Structure formats: structure tokens, C-alpha cells
Amino acid sequence: MRDLVFAAINAALVKGARYADARIVDSREQKVSVSDGRVEAIESGESFGIGVRVIADGSWGFASSAAVTTEAAEQLGRQAVAIARASALVAGAPVNLADVGTFDTRWDGPCEVDPFAVSLEEKIALLLEADEAMRAEDAVKLTKSHLGFFRAHKCFGSSEGSYIEQTYTESGGGITAVAVAGGEVLTRSYPNSHGGNWLQGGYEVIRSFDLAGQAPRVAEEAAALLSAAPCPPGVTDLIIDGSQLGLQVHESIGHPTELDRVLGDEAAFAGTSFLGVRDLGQLRYGSEHVTVTADATVAGSIGSFGFDDEGVPAQRDHLITDGALTGFLTSRESARAISRTSNGCMRADGWNRIPLIRMTTVSLEPGEWSLDDLIADTDDGLYVETNSSWSIDDKRLNFQFACEIGWEIKDGERTRMVKNPNYTGITPKFWNSCDAVCSRDHWQVWGLPNCGKGEPMQVAHVAHGASPARFRGIRVGVGR
Amino acid sequence: MNRLTADQARQLAARVVALTQADAAETLVISADDSLTRFADNRIHQNVTETDTRVSVRAVLGNRQGVASTNRLDDESLAGCCADAVAAASAAPADPEFPGLPSPVPVQTPVRAAEAAAGFGPEQRAEVALGIVRQCSSRLIQAAGGVASTLQTVAIGNSLGVDVGMETTSVRATVLAQSDRGGSGWASFFGPDPAGLVADALGDEAATLAQRSEYPADLEPGSYTVVLAPEAVADIVDFLGYLGFSARSFEEGRSFLSGNLEKRIMSELVTISDNACAPESFGLVFDYEGMPKRRVPLIENGVATSVVTDSYWAARTGRENTGHALPAPNAFGPMTLDLMMGAGDSTLDEIIGSVERGVYVTRFHYVNAEDPVPVTLTGMTRDGTFLIEDGALATPLKNQRFTQGAVAALNAVKGVTSERAFFDVMLGSALVPGLLIDGWEFTGQTG
Ligand SMILES: [Zn+2]
């Protein structure tokens, strides 16, 4: 692999590239899903190819192909330079990269029980057991359960002399019960919605979820939602569970602190950010209870790696410190705009994509509260769990999230269940209204396997650590 | 490695079907060259190209099935892929509802690959980007966007004799123009070849809108008459397809069509069909099982008419197969990929001219569904939102959040524009007009 990587790089340098890197990625995946007692999909796939990224005439070019031979790699290196020269026809200031060390090493993610060696029969049996347990509830008319496994082997080399090989394995899954009656459709998921939960690791990850054990509770809650009251509109104190808060961090802290968005690179697609470079060290993002880190070294998180796809070592960095904006997610190119070196956030969705700035494990650091104490401390409020819908504007300011389930809080007690609770806010105002965060006992890492960004679309595997937290004076029951 | 021709892809599909040691087998081959030049801040900052060919095998043993795919095309890898599919099928429990792979049905494949798209290389894409950027930079406006081309070959073969293949092309360009006084404008192009793409005109449209929308004002939340430009309508129609037009969501009671066929559920001005075979379409005319697509009337003058199927859901519900299968294994059910909404007889300007007070929306951003049956959507407006006063665009507005049932909105349609445009949406493409809608709920605005 090393020879192929450097064949591509050298061909680009011969054609006049000032910088070149190449990545060969060999990945495989397996998915199994069951719906309504029927095995809906058993699917495996593999993908293998090489991508070459160059700077020539001060501009970027990238070419990729599934043909991985010396000749094809050299051809790609030359093609990438030709594309960079076309980019230079509409050039800005020449691209420059912040310094990084050179490394010749390898990194392997955790994996105890190779999930590709576990039989399909065992996986199907687990899903059918969970599915049957959900279907025992009469009101549940549709069930889904699924498992997924992914492994990638990446070989990265650069014209600066680094050569890095990395291998990691990810495992994930979840179950969903849908209660349907009278034109209403109400969903309950575990351990999370939109793909379940995902961690780096092998089949031991799936065993730790206890999908079948949780299935009866999930189905029961879906059924109960049918007779639950709608979420009353109003302004209230909102307690958000860890999984939904993970997504809230994702959308309203993770994306807006991506420095390429701040600099306008994604403007025409997912949008920009309300943040400017000038806000660094100046902006009060949230209350003193809000400290947010970006950490690519969290063991077992799908946001972790040894090196990013520019060969920058994994790091832990603070984005928000006691409420103040203290960092961005960066690349080698963008880091120069804030006179820093890269904190290692560049990742590509496969051999056929360029790396973009992606979240690693972006976490709201835990506070001191227990969830019971926090509810007991709330006179009039709403507690919500598990995302069902998300939307945020192109500057990441106005957001609206809907959750699967909620409970009203009256005089410190969790009371009536409500269906389809939603809430809306403006990012900095929302985070400044945070007055309590639950402790590390309630804190966990939520893997989010489907973060979309860029054109052509790239799907990144990122993660968020979060525990429940309380926000004062939040508008809920919007449009109800 | 080059992209395969339709004949090469069909031959590869047939070879892989023959390699699969199962009772029956199906192979899908997708071979594509994808290129994209992206610009932001008036300069090209990303410029990429990709060539890939994927082979996907569905193996059938009795009524059990399994799928495996690869992009390694050497004999050993292809044999391994077939063996993986067979192993998956043999691990599957019996599925009495599986009707088997579909038998061949004749498909007329028109020539839809445009030669001009094949010659649309990095220099040509840069030229388009340059034309757009010049329109903006000369007005001190920042342009961002992309110029993309896709050349794609799709072939499907199965052991019952299905043998189809087709090449398609598409070209897409987008422009976001932003001024430093809060103005934002947008223009886009989507078509089978670059012939209709005029860079200066596209750049001018977005830049003019950005100039026109500077210093946006607040709007009180509430119920408004809105004029939605076609690109905003495309998002709504896309969600109707995702949540409601499939035989699966219909049968499961999750669709707004469930229990409502033959009933009027939308304004009689609304007619929606799925029609990959229309002469103006430029996508595939068969589905991912190789079955011919046909025009499916979904909403006719406001009346719910029918749903789309694939082989599985056709057999399960006793309907005809309309050719809407996604690639196997398909956990979503059949899906519309070529939605078309009928045009009206007034121009967009005439419709704006008919509104005393309302809001004009260029397009939406980040739309998502909060409740599936009424298709309750929330999202933001973006890149040119205006108050309409006395029949003309007046004050530009800050981006607004809406929370609105799509079915209810389409029941409140009061006007449909004669202009229609194609858009590249979540599910394939959509050809839609602009709409005049009463009682649209804006529930907030950006900070
Ligand atoms: Zn995301």
C-alpha cells in the first residue's frame, strides 16, 4: 500500500504539485434488519479505492478511483494536478497549510469480539427476539430492529513524509416500536433514534445494549403515547435527556464551531455559522455551566482515531470553557485563520471524498446534579427524551427539535406523559439559559453515525458525550 | 478504470448472475463518473472527481434472500461477493411473503445521456464558476455554490431474464450570493446537459436577489398568505413522497393517503404524479429491479388517486407493479423518484400581483417532518424572503421558521404558476411550479 500511496504522490509532484497526499481506504460493512417479524435485510458490502489530494498553482484538486494499481495511482496524481490547475482559473489567495509533524506509524481501534466473525444466525435471533417482544404490545403496529457493523483500513501518506495506517471497527444497532391508531403514528426508540447507538468496538457493544431486554418497555411507551396529551404550548423550564442533548450539542455547538463553516466554505449547502473568527475568546456562548470539549481520544467512541485524514494526531481541545468560546474545530488550512495549528478534525467519508472538518466526540462536560434532584428542584417544567425531528437555520441560530416523548414536571415531580413535544430557541440565548447539568453518573457517549455535510454529500461518524441538563424559560409545543 | 457503457454493465450483470450459486439471483451494476467544482468567497476551494463501479448481488434460496455488494471487479472478488449473498440468504429464515424475483417485462429505454455532459470537464466547470463569480464580485457580493456533472450507467439482470441497462447524465449548478448588508440570493440549474446553463444569467439572478434583500426586517409570527417559488415547493413535494406516496406507508396506516383514496384531500388546483417516462425527464425509466416505470397519478385535482409499488408491495397488496423499487434490500418500501406537479395558468409575477399582503419565499432550508400523517414540516426560509404588499415584493424579511402541515397547505392552494423547474431533491428529482397558499404558519425567525 505504501508504494501505491507514494506512486500517486510522486506523480503529482512531478507534475508540479506543491503538496500532495493520498489515501487508500478498504472498508467493509454488514447490516441486518428485522421489521414486523420478518427479516427485511441481510446485507454486506465492501469498498476499495484511492483518492489523491493536491495543491498546485495555489489551488486544490482531488481525483479518486476504484482502480488501485501503480499505473492508475500515477494517473490519478496527474489528474488531480490538472483539476487543481482548473481551480486556479478562479483562485483566491494561495492555499497554505499549518505545520504538522511527520509520522510513520499505525493505530488500531478497540475490538474484543470480531463482529464479522459472529454468525448471521446469532444476529438474526437477537433481532427477532427484540422484535417479538415489541409486537407483544397490541397497539404497536410496526416494529423495526437493526444491527450494523463497519470496519475500515486506511493508509495515508503525504508529500511531507508521513505514512500512517489505521484500522477501526464500529458496531451499532437499535429498536423502534411504532404505535398507530386513528391517523396517529407515535414512535419510541432505544437506545437512540435515527440509527440507534454506535460505538467503536466489536459484538460486545451490541451485547451491552440489551436490546431484547429493553423491548417491552419501548413498546409499552409507544402504546402509552397514543393516549397521552399533546404537549401544551407555552414557555417552561426544560430538562433534556442525554441523547437529545447530544443532538442539541451537535447542531447548535458542533456544526457552528466548524471553522470551514465559519469561513464560508459550506455557505451554499448547509450554510455558515453565526460565529466569526473575531468571536474567539470574546463571545459568551453559554452560561458558566456550559463547558464543551472536542476529543478524538475518547476510548470506544466513533469520533475517535489515531490521526485525522490530514495526518494530524488526535487531540482533546476545549470549544467552550465555562460558557466562553475558546476554540473551533479546525483543519490545517483553516487553523491558519486563527493563528493556531490544526486540532485534527479532518475526516473523509471514504477513498472517494476529500477530508472536511468533522466533529470528533464533541461533549457537554458533566456537572454535579443527579437527575432526580434536578426534577425535584423544578417547580413547573417539561422533561423530554429521544429526538424525533431536527431543524436549524443556515447560521445555526434558530433551531426547533421534536422528541419522541415527554413528561410534565409539577412541583418537583414527573407527572403526565405528553406526545410529540417540541421546543425552539436561539442558540446563544438557549445555552445561556442552562442552569444545571447532571453528573458523570448520568453522562454517556452517544454515537451519531449519520452526520451529513458537504457536496458531494459525506456522512461522518461522530459522537457526543452528554448528561441531562436544565434550560430555563424555553418555548415548547410550537405549532401545536 | 472507466465508467462502463450500458452494454458493458448489462454483460457484467449477466456474468455475476451466472456466478451466483442460488435458486435465483439478481445483479445491479451502477457505474459513474461524478465531478464537482465548488466555490465560496468568490474562489474555487474544492474540486473533485470520482470513478466507481459497484456491483450488488441479491441471492435467492427458496423464499429466503441475501444481498452483498463490492466495487472490486476481479473474478475472485466477484465470486466472493456472490458467495456472501448466498451465505446471507442461507442464514435468513423462510419468508413466505417473498414473491420471488420479478419476471422480465419489456422496457423501452430512450437515449437520455447527453454527449455535451461528457465533455463538461474541469476547465468547463471553472468557466461556469468564473461567469457566476464575476456577476457577484463586480457588485461586491460573495458567491458560493457548485457546478457538478454526473455520468451514470445502471444495469440490472436477473436469472429469470431481466436484462436492462441505461446511461443518464445530469448537470447541476447552484449559486448563493451574499452581501455584507444581510442580503442573500439564490439561483440553481438542474438538467441533463450543460446546454441550458447560462453562467452569467444564473449569477445575475442570485446577485440581484441578494441586492434586493439587504437589511431584512422582522416579521411577527402568525398565519400568512405565501407565494412559494418552485424550489420551496420542491421540498414539500419531496416530503409527501418520502412519507405518503408509497404502498408501504399507505398499508401501514402511516400515510395521509391511508383510508383516503378517491377522496378530495387537497385543493383541486393540485395534481401530482410520478412520471419517469415524461419526455422532459432525464432519469432512469426502469426501477432497481429492472421493472418499467410508468406514470402513476397520485393526486388528481386534489383527489387522492393511488400509491406506488415495487414487486414485493405489489404482490402483498394485490396492486400492479408500478416500477418504484429501490436497490435491494429495501427497508423503506417503494419510493417516488420522479414527482411532477401540474402547472397552472398564471405566471409567478401575476400570482405575486394578486396578493395584497403576504410573504414570498425563494426557498427553504433544513426542512424536517415532526408528524408523519399530516406531514407536519418545520424549516426555515432562506436566500430571499420578502413581504408582499399591494401585489409587489416589498420589505425583505429575516429568515422565518415555519411549522406547517403539508397536506393542509396543499388543501389551501389558491394559485399555481405556469413556470415549472426541475430540482435535485432527497428522493430523485421533482418538477414543480410555484404556489400561492393561504394560512401558512410562521412560528419564529432567526436571531
Ligand atoms: Zn451533522
Query: Are B430 and B234 spatial neighbours (Cβ–Cβ below 8 Å)?
Result: yes
Q: Which amino acid is at A139?
A: A
Cell 447542531 belongs to: A251
The pLDDT assigned to B2 comes to: 85
Nearest residue, CB atoms, B71 vs list A66, A124, A420: A66
Phi first, then psi, for residue B37 (nearest 5°) are -110, 120
Joined grid coordinates for residue B290: 429492472
Domain B6-208, classified CATH 3.30.2290.10, yes or no: yes
Q: Which three three-digit cell numbers place residue B250?
A: 399507505
Co-location of A160 and A259 in the same domain: no
Cell of B249: 406507508
Tens-digit pLDDT profile for residues A417-445: 999 999 999 999 999 999 999 999 999 99
CB of B370 closer than 8 Å to CB of B343: no
pLDDT at B280: 93
- Asked whether residue A350 falls in the same domain as residue A455, the answer is yes
Q: Measured between alpha carbons, how far is residue A76 from residues A15, A68, B142 in Å?
A: 11, 10, 32
Please report, rounded to a whole number, the percentage of residues in chain B having pLDDT higher than 70. Answer: 100
Look at B144 and A264 and tell me if their CB atoms are within 8 Å.
Answer: yes
Count of the separate structural domains present in chain A: 2
Beta-sheet pairing, B163-178 with A398-410 = unpaired
Residue B424 has pLDDT above 80, yes or no: yes
pLDDT interval class at A88 (50, 70, 90): very high
* Mean confidence (pLDDT) of chain B: 97
Residues found in chain B: 447
Interface of B with A in 175-214 (CB under 8 A): 175-176, 178
Tell me the pLDDT tens digit for each residue of A123-156.
Answer: 999 999 999 999 999 999 999 999 999 999 999 9
How close A75 comes to chain B (CA, Å)?
10
Question: How do beta strands A380-392 and B163-178 pair?
Answer: unpaired
Q: For chain A, how big is the Rg over CA atoms in Å? A: 23
Domain CATH for A164: 3.30.2290.10
Cell numbers for B253: 396506516
Whole-number pLDDT of residue B159: 98
Q: Which three cell numbers stand for residue B96?
A: 413466505
User: Is the domain of A128 the same as that of A199?
Assistant: yes
Tell me the C-alpha distance between A388 and A422, whole Å. Answer: 9
Q: What is the dihedral of CA A246, A249, A255, A258, to 10 degrees?
A: -110
HEC string for B129-176: HHHHHHHHHCCCCEEEEEEEEEEEEEEEEECCCCEEEEEEEEEEEEEE
Q: Does A149 lie in the same domain as A288? A: no
Where exactly does CATH 3.30.2290.10 map onto chain B?
6-208
Note the pLDDT of residue A430.
98
Query: Is the minimum CB–CB distance between B142 and chain A shorter than 8 Å?
Result: yes
Distance from CA of A440 to the nearest CA of B (A): 31
What single letter denotes the amino acid at residue A283? L
Give which of B19, B52, B38 is closest to A260, Cα–Cα: B38
3-state DSSP helix/strand/coil % of chain B, to nearest 5 = 25, 40, 35
Q: Are residues A117 and A15 in the same domain?
A: yes
Q: Say yes or no for a CB contact (<8 Å) between B367 and A35.
A: no
User: Out of A264, A274, A392, whose CB is closest to B366?
Assistant: A392
Contact (Cβ atoms closer than 8 angstroms) between residue B163 and residue B29:
no
Whether omega before B329 lies within 30 degrees of 0, making that bond cis, reads: yes
Name which of B2, B4, B26, B38 to mutate to probe chain A: the one with the most chain A Cβ atoms within 10 A of its Cβ: B38
Boundary (domain end) residue, out of A210, A227, A244: A227
Out of A47, A84, A427, name the one closest to residue B71 (CB). Answer: A47
Taking residues A112-131, report their average pLDDT: 98
Are A406 and A417 in contact, with CB atoms under 8 Å apart?
A: yes
DSSP A458: E
Q: Do A42 and B399 touch (CB under 8 A)?
A: no
Domain region containing A298: 230-476
How close is the Cα of A451 to the center of ligand 1, in Å?
Answer: 4
Residues A210 and A145 in one domain: yes
Residue for grid cell 453565526: A274
Structure-block grid coordinates of residue B156 = 440490472
Q: Closest chain A residue to B41 measured between Cα atoms? A: A264
ipTM above 0.90, yes or no: yes
Task: Return the bridge partners of B98, or none.
Answer: none
Q: Is A361 helix (H, G, I), strand (E, B) or coil?
A: strand
Q: At what angle do helices A70-87 and A2-14 cross, to 10 degrees?
A: 40
Q: Hey, is the C-beta of B365 within 8 angstroms of any chain A C-beta? A: yes
Cα separation, A284 vs A288, whole angstroms: 9
Closest residue, chain A, to B186 (C-alpha): A268
pLDDT, average across residues A174-189: 96
Q: Which residues make beta-bridge pairs with A294?
A: A317, A362
A145 and A196 housed in the same domain = yes
CA angle B317-B319-B320, nearest 5°? 145
Check: CB of residue B434 under 8 Å from CB of residue B413.
no
What integer best gives the mean pLDDT of chain A?
98
Question: Could you report the per-residue pLDDT of A338-368, keeping only the tens digit for each?
Answer: 999 999 999 999 999 999 999 999 999 999 9
Residue A132 has what DSSP assignment?
H
Question: Does one domain contain both A202 and A328?
Answer: no
- Cell, residue B167: 446511461
Contact B446 A352 (CB under 8 A): no
Residue A339, phi then psi, degrees to nearest 5? 50, 40
Model pTM?
0.97
Residues B314, B320 contacting (CB under 8 angstroms): yes
Contacts of A420 in chain B (CB under 8 A): 370-371
**Position B12: which residue type?**
L
Whether residues A255 and A202 share a domain: the answer is: no
Q: How far apart, in Å, do the first and last CA atoms of chain B sit? A: 50
Q: A296 C-alpha vs ligand 1 centroid, how far in Å?
A: 16
d(CA B422, CA B435): 15
| Of A40, A72, A19, A30, the residue nearest A351 (C-alpha) | A72
Radius of gyration of chain B, Cα coordinates, nearest whole angstrom = 23
Q: Which residue, A162, A195, A227, sits at the end of a domain?
A: A227
CB distance B1–A65 less than 8 Å? yes
Is the Cα torsion angle A271, A277, A283, A288 positive or negative in sign?
Answer: positive
Question: Is the pLDDT at A287 greater than 90, yes or no?
Answer: yes
Contact B122 A86 (CB under 8 A): yes
Instruction: Specify whether A374 is located in the same domain as A361.
Output: yes
Query: Scanning every residue of chain B, which has its alpha carbon at the shortest distance from the alpha carbon of A53?
Result: B48
Which of A24, A90, A124, A346 would you mutate first to test chain B, the one with the most B CBs within 10 A? A90
Q: Which domain-ending residue is among A188, A205, A227?
A: A227
* Residue B1 scores a pLDDT above 70: no
